Amino acid sequence: PVAVRREDYAAPAWWIDTVDLTFDLDPAKTRVLNRMRMRRNMDVPAQPLRLDGGELNLARVLVDGQGASFRMEGDQLVIDTLPDNFELELFTTCCPSKNTKLMGLFVSEDTFFTQCEAEGFRRITYFLDRPDVMASYQVTLRANKSLYPVLLSNGNLVDHGDLPEGRHFAKWVDPFKKPSYLFALVAGKLVAREQRIKARNGKEHLLQVYVRAGDLDKTEHAMNSLIHSVAWDEARFGLPLDLDRFMIVATSDFNAGAMENKGLNIFNTKYVLANQATATDADYSNIESVVGHEYFHNWSGDRVTCRDWFQLSLKEGLTVFRDQEFSQDLCADASARAVKRIEDVRVLRTAQFPEDAGPMAHPVRPDSYIEISNFYTVTIYEKGAEVVRMMQTLVGRKGFEKGITLYFERHDGDAVTCDDFAQAIADANPESELAALLPQFKRWYSQAGTPRVTARGRYDAAARTYTLDFSQSCPPTPGQAVKEPFVIPISLGLLAQDGRELPLHLQGDEDASTAQSHTMVLTQAHESITFNNIDSQPVPSILRGFSAPVVLDFDYTDGELLILLANDPDPFNRWEAGQRLAMRRALAAITGPAADAAGLDEAYINAMRGVLRDPKLDSAFKELVLTLPSETYISEQLDVVDPQRVHAVHEAMRAQLATALFSDWEWAYEQNQDTGAYSPDPLSSGRRALSGLALDNLCLAARASGDTVWPGKTLQRFKDAGNMTDRFNALYALVSSSHPLAQQALARFHALFKDEALVIDKWFSLQAGAPDRGGDVLPLVKQLMKHPDFSLKNPNRARSVIFSYCSANPGAFHRADAAGYVWWSDRVIELDPINPQVAARLARALDRWSKLAEPYRSAAREAIARVAARPDLSKDTQEVVSRALA
Ligand code: DPP
Ligand code: ZN
């Protein structure tokens, strides 16, 4: 397979102005008539017309109504001789029922759906399938009326009616031009929750959430999230809903989370369906984010789209940033906002930092790809969002809103680049540091790798000054040996030894106000900042709010971290201090004598008790502080990883915290009981999160002490719970402590929810992700794959078993006998012909193989090589494994 390179971008040789599609929908053979008005792009040298295709049967090609001569080059249809303007008519057929890749037109539970991003439209008809070709679409859908009563496509319904032989039709016109990746159709037996809303300008809109008949009682939260999203984008950025009708449709077979097709978003059921009996608080919060995310794409993605797929973060980084801001703005208070920020940073550090340090590392704007589907990554999404966030930090919130306004004024209706975005934000804020530093700032788009910022403090008692010396560096990544310094905004403050926050008097900037927080903007490899009027050695609080996506290295003493943990007014750094205390202990135990795995001392335990019992802190925040860093995150701090050692230490620390704080956990559990009706708001979900963590710890402690009271209470809680969060937390506590009662609870859980696919996913995932006790998880996982409810073809189900084991259960997956790796390679090979996108994602489970200690390292490499040696691998999987071995 050949790589596509960013520097090879050339404008298309032809434009498509209008597309008129007629579908005769049939699962085995769908007929697609495509009539396009096309014209030559006079700005580029004349070239033949090359249309992309994939797994299509071509029956007819007419140019201006006449048979035309064409040839096939691989999957492309090529026409050499053409007038400057013409109508092209193509007639093709495809087979949706056999489409297990779930790209293009496919069938899920007797309903037709499409997924066209990034390159799925070419599997529906031959097309210039690239985002800079934007056309006006009209779409006629024809199908059997009783089997497919609902017929949907983008835009407005302009006509519909009956046809002979029990068939009917619907005609849709999209008032906006769009690239092909935003095309969508849905046809099947669906019902909708509907809501009419009135925008600020008085315009009425119809919102619809379409699901299967039994699921209507699980759509209220998605609808409310959509209503909030519409209101938020208008209030925060002045961006209104531009369509009469906005539809969300849920499908249970979907490769990704959801898709922002213009006016017709298609969602994985996981991000739509929720009621208190079936969905956890985390599900509710994910639904809110994803509904927001896809809705916000209507502007950042649909109205202004990407010139080419290298610019993917233009829409994804920006839209993740927007959904993060949306979720934060919905929070009632600063503590809930901080909790959301900590959760987002945790995702970045446990998933994106490893990616940025591994074989798939790529810049936020990549330079080349073999398969674009492989670049829907945490780097493009989450790191891309951090880059946008830093821009907001550098121009201020109001300045950023001005920048967004200018961006949409300048580029509405266009396909543009990341440069265009950064330029608009800077141009709207000509006096800002972003404008002054723009070329250097844009290194965030071009350089991969996580920068490391090292800070050292110097207190001069005689001069009463405190100086922080910063240096920055960035490790090499594939294809980028040497990095130039980044622009790094570092928000910081100083605390006195008694925990008071100190006013900041910047040396050399005597007029600066005596603020308590300051954002320093690093631009050099080494630079310093000095504060005056400091009476004694302070404790610096650096990188407040995680103001840049970097690793911060500062040689804190335990005492300093305890001061920050107890007093930092910045909740992010308060949490971070606790994480540093735990991490330091984990690393010491991992690298210490093998017989001694327990790493927690009285100082740490007492500090955790202090947080747990602090009446001024919210439960959600306490839950975050009392959760140890994950095994994945701990492993990233090590040069050589023995995953079994990491697992043993992590388990020992968990057990220690459970036992040492036993009565505190009992107290916390009792204190955080639900009262009143279920509501997924941050305050009550925080209480459930902390009571869940308490239960987990109480069962763990019982495992060590032989106590039977708490496991019994936990089973009772499992049975009596009034909502899925409490029920699942109780089940989790029994499973994660490997208590014998877990089997009974698991069986009951399955029986209760056998008809709820999303709950059964949880049931599989919990077992495949359970802590390993003597190698028992792999045999269990093999059993689960034989369960009648298991299906490899359904991505959610495949992920619930295979990914939960290979990607989310390091202690069980990394076996000294290599059986986990062999099993992984078999699954990648088995999935690849069915669904290459899912297979390629699974192939990334061993991204970090070169960091492993022996015997894991050689065994992992061998398993990857085994996959790479297969003939006929998809280019998706091929790209991943060949990069891993490079
Ligand atoms: N564009 C989609 C999203 O991130 C992914 N297929 O919303
Ligand atoms: Zn997106």
The ligand 1 atom nearest the CA atom of 259: 2
What is the share, in percent, of the chain residues with pLDDT greater than 90? 97
Which residue, of 188, 209, 225, is where some domain finishes?
188
State the catalytic residues.
294
Query: Residues 6 or more apart from 328 whose CB is under 8 A from it?
Result: 337, 340, 341
Residue 254: both structure tokens together: 């979907």
Say if residues 736 and 728 touch (Cβ distance below 8 Å). no
Indicate the angle between helix axes 836-843 and 875-885, nearest 10 degrees: 10
Is there an atom of ligand 1 within 6 Å of 832 CB?
Answer: no
pLDDT for the residue numbered 509: 80
What domain count does the chain have?
Answer: 4
Assess whether 373 and 490 both reside in one domain.
Answer: no
Say if residues 24 and 30 touch (Cβ distance below 8 Å). yes
Its pTM stands at 0.99
User: Which amino acid makes up residue 724?
Assistant: M
Assess whether 439 and 462 both reside in one domain.
Answer: no
197 found inside a domain? no
pLDDT for the residue numbered 389: 99
Domain, as residue range, for 357: 306-446
Helices (H) and strands (E) in the chain, counts: 30, 33
**What is the CATH classification number for the domain harbouring 686?**
1.25.50.10
Mutate to test the pocket of ligand 1, among 101, 178, 259, 380 (most ligand atoms within 8 A of CB): 259
DSSP assignment string, 334-359 = HHHHHHHHHHHHHHIIIIIHHHHHST
Provide the CA 71 distance to its chain's centre, in angstroms. 41
Is there an atom of ligand 1 within 6 Å of 256 CB?
Answer: yes
Provide the CA 213 distance to its chain's centre, in angstroms. 29
Residue 463: both structure tokens together: 């001069």
d(CA 177, CA 17): 9
84 found inside a domain? yes
Residues paired with residue 480 on neighbouring β-strands, in sequence order: 477
Assess whether 681 and 763 both reside in one domain.
Answer: yes
pLDDT for the residue numbered 482: 98
Residues within 5 Å of ion ligand 2, judged at the Cβ atom = 316, 319
Assess whether 151 and 19 both reside in one domain.
Answer: yes
Assess whether 702 and 848 both reside in one domain.
Answer: yes
Is there an atom of ligand 1 within 6 Å of 315 CB?
Answer: no
Which residue, of 555, 572, 596, is where some domain finishes?
555
Assess whether 68 and 109 both reside in one domain.
Answer: yes
780 found inside a domain? yes
Q: What phi and psi values does residue 846 have, to the nearest 5 degrees? A: -105, 20
Mutate to test the pocket of ligand 1, among 321, 326, 376, 378 (most ligand atoms within 8 A of CB): 376
The ligand 1 atom nearest the CA atom of 301: 1
Assess whether 424 and 492 both reside in one domain.
Answer: no
ipTM tops the 0.85 cut: yes
pLDDT for the residue numbered 350: 98
Whole-number Å distance, alpha carbon 265 to ligand 1 midpoint, is 10
CB atoms within 10 A of CB 461: 11
Is there an atom of ligand 1 within 6 Å of 323 CB?
Answer: no
pLDDT for the residue numbered 594: 76
Q: What is the CA radius of gyration of the chain?
A: 28
Nearest CA to ligand 1 atom 7: 259
pLDDT for the residue numbered 515: 83
Whole-number Å distance, alpha carbon 267 to ligand 2 midpoint, is 12
Whole-number Å distance, alpha carbon 266 to ligand 2 midpoint, is 12
Nearest CA to ligand 1 atom 1: 259
373 found inside a domain? yes
Looking at residue 242, what DSSP letter applies? -
Nearest CA to ligand 1 atom 3: 259
Assess whether 468 and 441 both reside in one domain.
Answer: no
CB atoms within 10 A of CB 712: 13
566 found inside a domain? no
**What is the CATH classification number for the domain harbouring 152?**
2.60.40.1730
pLDDT for the residue numbered 52: 98
**What is the CATH classification number for the domain harbouring 417?**
1.10.390.10
Give 10-residue mean pLDDT values along the chain (886 residues). 96 98 98 98 97 98 97 98 98 98 98 99 99 98 98 98 98 98 99 95 95 98 98 98 98 98 99 98 98 99 98 99 98 96 98 98 98 98 99 98 98 98 99 98 99 98 98 98 98 98 90 82 98 97 98 98 98 98 97 80 97 98 98 98 96 96 98 92 97 98 96 98 98 97 98 98 98 96 98 98 98 98 98 98 98 98 98 98 98
Assess whether 13 and 142 both reside in one domain.
Answer: yes
What b/e string do you get for 765-800 counting C-beta neighbours within 10 Å, with b at 16 or more?
Answer: bbbbbbbbeeeebbebbeebbeeeebebebbbbbbb
The ligand 1 atom nearest the CA atom of 316: 4
Query: Residues 6 or more apart from 440 whose CB is under 8 A from it?
Result: 484, 485, 486, 487, 523
Assess whether 816 and 859 both reside in one domain.
Answer: yes
The closest alpha carbon to 761, from 801, 792, 733, 728, belongs to 801
d(CA 409, CA 406): 5
d(CA 866, CA 277): 44
Residue 609: both structure tokens together: 């008790």
Assess whether 479 and 612 both reside in one domain.
Answer: no
Which residue, of 165, 188, 211, is where some domain finishes?
188
127 found inside a domain? yes
793 found inside a domain? yes
d(CA 855, CA 821): 12
284 found inside a domain? no
Assess whether 359 and 393 both reside in one domain.
Answer: yes
